[in-house]
Structure 1
């Protein structure tokens, strides 16, 4: 029986032109024997622009949702996700060769690990690349609580890129999907996941993180200091509450 890894991509209509590159980066992935991928694309809205930008491929599942922001869009996509593993990919980013192979190989071979993250490279407007600022972890196991602790110690710079997350479906659902925030929903997810389960940091870059003026993280509603502090407080409190429950690792 074929096993599935689902790549989940939320899309705002203005990012529809990037979808072809994202698709080609998924289509080029070589997976371990017995595995295949599914791409669940969820539009934040219902413009018609996103669906028309997608190629014909039976492994693509497209859906719409009332415009609600990235957290709701991502989590709604899970209803159509067939995979036992769920991998993040934003619509304007691209997977690098070997990304899904390494996620699958590690999680299939290490039942004590429930999620992975990996290095990323920034993709600049001129087509060049550079190392992403959030690449501070050494390759290896990420013990519970380490992401939150490092985030605090580094002045609120994450030691990993949450857009590279790959997680066991059961853990993702147990956490309620992506955190219900207008931005930083993936930061909330990775810190919550690490509060209850060990992860693994893969040193090989798995993603090109596109830098452009219209990306969400460049907008004032994301960069405003007061809003960021409120979200940060919720993320920390949630992680602390989860850690206090004392639950063991969640297994498929």
Structure 2
């Protein structure tokens, strides 16, 4: 009998201005070395219906590409979950790149600690001049207890100590939480705080992602820092996390985390 292969699903929302970065993202994914018995699926969902993205999608049977009406990256990722056929879901924005070994490290953490709901890792900003810059306040490698992300986020001007663009999540847990938040931005932060409200996570200090900085990215647009909208986004993100905590629901704990 042929052994059943296990799969990690990499999910990418893309809009037309960022489509030209997809080959770099694919290259970083194609260079990943997975444990024996594992493979990957890349789900690409266009946020919109243009003729600009499909020419940049690689011809690879492991890659699934669809389009849909515009709703933002959270909506695109969430609808892409319909095609996600694997136990774990890894986020990869269309303009970012996985660091070597990122997927294998995520899978190793889940294998060692079956009660974890999610993992994150260190990020390097990839600047236009080719240089990289790291975050100087990364936490120690290891478990992130429930509620810790919300506490840090509140105390540091709504900035989490771990980056939601590096999330790897149990698919069932992601679906139970409804996917990404229906927000014009910060939808990934909303998911991160929701995950941390109901489950423990993990931070890996080895670099897992190169986060491309370029003028066309959504976080560089003026609307992203509009005061009224930002306050509204942060309010609903926090309210969701606190509501989940108040309901007392949590991912069952089945193992002990090593320090």
Instruction: Settle same-fold status: TM greater than 0.5.
Output: yes
| 1:170 maps to which of 161, 169, 172 | 172
- Unmatched segments (≥5 aa) in structure 1: none
CA contact (8 A) 2:138 2:205 kept: no
Q: SS where residue 53 of structure 2 aligns?
A: helix
1:221 paired with 2:223, answer: yes
Task: Tell me which of 25, 29, 53 is aligned to 1:26.
Answer: 29
Q: Deviation at 1:236?
A: 0.6
CA deviation after TM superposition for structure 1 residue 248, in Å: 2.8
SS where residue 245 of structure 2 aligns?
A: helix
- Taking the aligned partners of 1:74 and 1:223, their CA distance within structure 2 comes to 22
How far apart in 1 are the matches of 2:249 and 2:242? 13
Question: Paired residue for 1:109?
Answer: 112
Q: 2:257: which partner in 1?
A: none
On the 8 A contact 1:114/1:250 being kept in 2, the answer is no
Runs of 4+ in structure 1 over 2 Å off: none
Q: Helix, strand or coil for the counterpart of 2:43?
A: strand
Aligned to 2:213: 211
User: Alpha-carbon deviation of 1:109?
Assistant: 2.3
| 1:140 to 2:142 alignment | yes
Root mean square deviation of aligned Cα? 1.1
Superimposed CA distance per residue, residues 14-61 of structure 1 (whole angstroms, 9 cap, x where no aligned partner): 101000000000000000111001100000011122111112100000
Deviation at 1:137, TM superposition (A): 1.6
Residue number among 36, 53, 66 corresponding to 2:39 in the alignment: 36
Whole-Å Cα distance in 1 between the matches of residues 159 and 69 of structure 2?
32
Q: 2:50 matched to 1:75?
A: no
Aligned-partner Cα distance in 2 for 1:114–1:250: 9
Offset of residue 225 of structure 1:
1.6
Partner of 1:96: 99
* Aligned counterpart, 1:6: 9
Aligned length: 250
Q: Which residue of 2 aligns with 1:153?
A: 155
The CA distance in 2 between the partners of 1:130 and 1:136, in whole Å, is: 13
TM value normalised by structure 2: 0.94
Question: Helix, strand or coil: the match of 1:36?
Answer: strand
